[in-house]
Amino acid sequence: MASINLNNVTKSYGHGAKALQVIHGVTAAIADHEFIVIVGPSGCGKSTLLRMVAGLEEISGGEISIGTRVVNQLEPAERDIAMVFQNYALYPHMSVFDNMAYGLKIKKVPGDEIKQRVAKAAGILELGKYLERKPRELSGGQRQRVAMGRAIVRQPQVFLFDEPLSNLDAKLRVQTRLEIQKLHRELGITSLFVTHDQVEAMTLAQRMIVMNAGRMEQFGTPEEVYNRPATTFVASFMGSPPMNLLKQAPNADFGGKPGTILGIRPEHLQMSPSGWAVQVDTLEMLGAERLVYCRFGDEFLIVRTDETQATPEIGATIHVAPRADRLHWFDAESGRRC
């Protein structure tokens, strides 16, 4: 197992004036045993960054280290990493055992050791009774566990997960997330996990890298990212529903300054007898809680309420008050936290 260090890593396609830069100077120090999630919208560069760590993409600048070795010039097979992809990539004609053992056989690992490693991985992933089955006889979640088992038996220094849950239905995604958490607790292997799903990011990450247009917007724990977003992008991307970002809020009432944007999460707005007057536009019922979408002058505002509060009528004017200790201020020009 090993640490991973990214030092001003860049990636460009093409050369000279026509070069298209897609990764802009990412620097991050990932400790041994950490589980790091790289999260961001489609096209932000998260998979490209992962593939550069894997050696599947050449880097254009900077340095990548795994453990004590700079791996810029090393082939993927020399980096001591194992990847899990979203499409499983299992051999359909092979049994589960043979799929998991294939890489070890190629490396000419002794047969007894192969059996030992496969049995241990199958036990961790609860695949013991499926070892003789073919992939077509398994559910999507079981196939993904086989793909993870194939990575485990290699005993790598680093696991790289490239959106491994994207092809699973909602229930299986939750179940497999729990299995990945358990797997990391048991093995402690340094892991990078790419996803566009913020729920996956928040539930899996010990720390997360939030990417936007090829740039690292923030690197921190889920609590840090959610409670103190570094930019308006992070504030709006992390959270469901997203943080309210108001340009025309009465900033002076709460110590704001000219040229700032006020951020307030929907759960930190409370309906009250006094406060901001807003008009209810839409309601979204989510079981024990409700999302109230409101018009606030020329802007929209989302308020999260629970079943203990009266549900307002669409078109009604209500008053909401933000919690003064939960306000966020961002520079209007740069989008950075003030």
Amino acid symbol at 269 = L
Do 151 and 88 touch, CB atoms closer than 8 A? no
Per-residue pLDDT of the chain (338 residues; tens, 9 = 90+): 799 999 999 999 988 888 899 999 999 999 999 999 999 999 999 999 999 999 999 999 999 999 999 999 999 989 999 999 888 789 999 999 999 999 899 989 999 999 999 999 999 888 999 999 999 999 888 898 899 899 999 889 999 999 988 888 888 888 888 888 988 998 999 999 999 999 999 999 999 999 999 999 999 999 999 999 999 999 999 998 999 999 865 544 555 566 789 999 999 998 888 888 999 999 999 888 999 999 998 899 999 998 888 889 999 999 999 998 999 999 999 999 98
CB neighbour burial string for 251-280, b if at least 16 within 10 angstroms, e if fewer: beeeebeeebbbbbbbbbbebeeeebebeb
CA dihedral 240, 193, 219, 45 (to 10 degrees): -90
Quote the tokens at residue 4. Answer: 């991973």
pTM, rounded to two decimals? 0.90
What is the model's pLDDT at position 252? 47
Distance of CA 315 to the CA centre of its chain: 37
Q: Which domains does the chain have, with CATH numbers?
A: 4-236 (3.40.50.300), 243-331 (2.40.50.140)
- Please give the backbone phi and psi of residue 66, each rounded to the nearest 5 degrees, phi first: -120, 115
Number of Cβ within 10 Å of residue 186's Cβ equals 10
Of 135, 155, 158, nearest to 145 by C-alpha is 135
Q: Distance (Å, rounded) from C-alpha 307 to C-alpha 317?
A: 19
Q: Distance (Å, rounded) from C-alpha 93 to C-alpha 116?
A: 23
What is the model's pLDDT at position 167? 82
Instruction: State whether residue 46 is helix, strand or coil.
Output: helix
Number of Cβ within 10 Å of residue 316's Cβ equals 11
Do 203 and 171 touch, CB atoms closer than 8 A? no
Q: Distance (Å, rounded) from C-alpha 316 to C-alpha 321?
A: 16
Q: Distance (Å, rounded) from C-alpha 211 to C-alpha 191?
A: 17
Number of Cβ within 10 Å of residue 178's Cβ equals 12
Q: In terms of residues, how long is the chain?
A: 338
Q: Which helix (H) or strand (E) holds 234?
A: helix 232-237
